[in-house]
Amino acid sequence: MILDGRKTADVLNDILKQDVEKLNNKPRLEIILVGNNPASQSYVKSKLKTASKLGMIVNITNIPETALEKEVRDLIVAFNNNKEVHGILLQLPLPKHMNSDNLIELIDYKKDVDGFHTMNQGLLFQNKSGIRPATPLGIMMLLDYYNIPIEGKHVVVIGRSQIVGAPVAKMFLDRHGTVTITHSRTKNLNEITKQADILVAAIGKPKFVKKDMVKIGAVVIDVGINRVDDKLIGDVDFDEVEPIVSYITPVPKGVGPMTICALAHNLYKLYKEQEKHS
Ligand code: NAD
């Protein structure tokens, strides 16, 4: 069965839209986009489109590729100090002459809509309330929507990035999954992935996961977005794997729309927290 991220995001976004309509003010997100990377431009456009549809305010500041890091720093500081701004998103990747770690640390963690700030990563590590990175959160929302149980399941994650692999593994652990994290230096990867009740592929290599790596009846979450000949291809060989699994996310229309849905939910959460303390 297909885990339809587009449909699920539409349903969850509709509910969120009703909540936003009830607010006195509108949650406001400021996106900083440096340069003109086509993938980043397209992600930013989707974020703007979805959040605007939900009645949220989204502004994009596009800075030239050649700008100094100081320009980005100044913008972040201004948004941190602006009480009308609830969320700040620094679209990655940044040009090589900018230090993304330092810039993310500069964002007020109470406005860190992506959940990448050390404070939010620490809150995740301690299983305390905070902003969770959007892609892992979107995956959880999708599994919950389809009532797929996690407790006691063996979850194998391929990839250990700070954006997807590592946080999603922790979130599965907090939901009582038995989690194995694998990566580029893992030996006998196939033997491990074949044990997965839930397999998450976050690698960045088109059609990397083949049928012989997957247990019959497993749930497969394909996070990968790879542009091949102008098409978006996942990390899982969908045609091979789909017939033998119980559930699988397609690419596109799987994890992608759920990530943006989770981002909008994060902005709403930040707004509520800030209103509480204002
Ligand atoms: P990354 O490059 O930071 O991390 C890739 C991970 O894959 C690394 O931890 C690495 O160890 C592992 N890996 C690489 N080769 C491997 C191999 N041969 N065997 C096992 N593991 C291997 O990438 P990322 O930021 O985590 O993104 C992963 C993919 O997910 C990319 O295609 C990216 O575009 C996509 N992505 C999608 C969304 C979404 O919204 N759907 C969000 C973020 C990232």
**Closest-lying ligand 1 atom to the alpha carbon of residue 203:** 7
Nearest CA to ligand 1 atom 15: 184
154, 163, 245, 254: which is closest to 197 by C-alpha?
154
Supply the pLDDT for residue 64.
97
- Separation between Cα atoms, residue 202 and residue 179, nearest integer Å: 15
Q: How far is the CA of 259 from the centre of ligand 1 (A)?
A: 15
Nearest CA to ligand 1 atom 22: 184
Nearest CA to ligand 1 atom 34: 225
131, 250, 152, 145: which is closest to 198 by C-alpha?
152
Structure tokens at 230: 């102008």
Strand segments, DSSP code E, in the chain are 28-34, 57-63, 87-90, 154-158, 178-182, 198-201, 219-222, 226-228, 231-233, 247-248
Q: How would you classify the pairing of strands 57-63 and 87-90? A: unpaired
Q: Are 179 and 169 in contact (CB under 8 A)?
A: yes
Q: From first to last of the 278 residues of the chain, give the pLDDT tens digit.
A: 999 999 999 999 999 999 999 998 999 999 999 999 999 999 999 999 999 999 999 999 999 999 999 999 999 999 999 999 999 999 999 999 999 999 999 999 999 999 999 999 999 999 999 999 999 999 999 999 999 999 999 999 999 999 999 999 999 999 999 999 999 999 999 999 999 999 999 999 999 999 999 999 999 999 999 999 989 999 999 999 999 999 999 999 999 999 999 999 999 999 999 998 87
Q: Are 210 and 239 in contact (CB under 8 A)?
A: no
Q: Are 219 and 197 in contact (CB under 8 A)?
A: yes
**Closest-lying ligand 1 atom to the alpha carbon of residue 183:** 21
**Closest-lying ligand 1 atom to the alpha carbon of residue 258:** 40
The pLDDT tens digits for 237-261 are 999 999 999 999 999 999 999 999 9
Binding site membership of 214 for ligand 1 (Cβ less than 6 Å): no
**Residue-by-residue DSSP string for 12-51:** HHHHHHHHHHT-SS--EEEEEEES--HHHHHHHHHHHHHH
Q: How far is the CA of 159 from the centre of ligand 1 (A)?
A: 6
Binding site membership of 213 for ligand 1 (Cβ less than 6 Å): no
**pTM exceeds cut of 0.75:** yes
Q: Which of 164, 190, 226, 236 has most ligand 1 atoms within 8 Å of CB, for mutation?
A: 164
Active site residues: 47, 91, 114
**In sequence order, what are the residues at sequence separation of 6 or more whose Cβ sits closer than 8 angstroms to the Cβ of residue 97?**
69
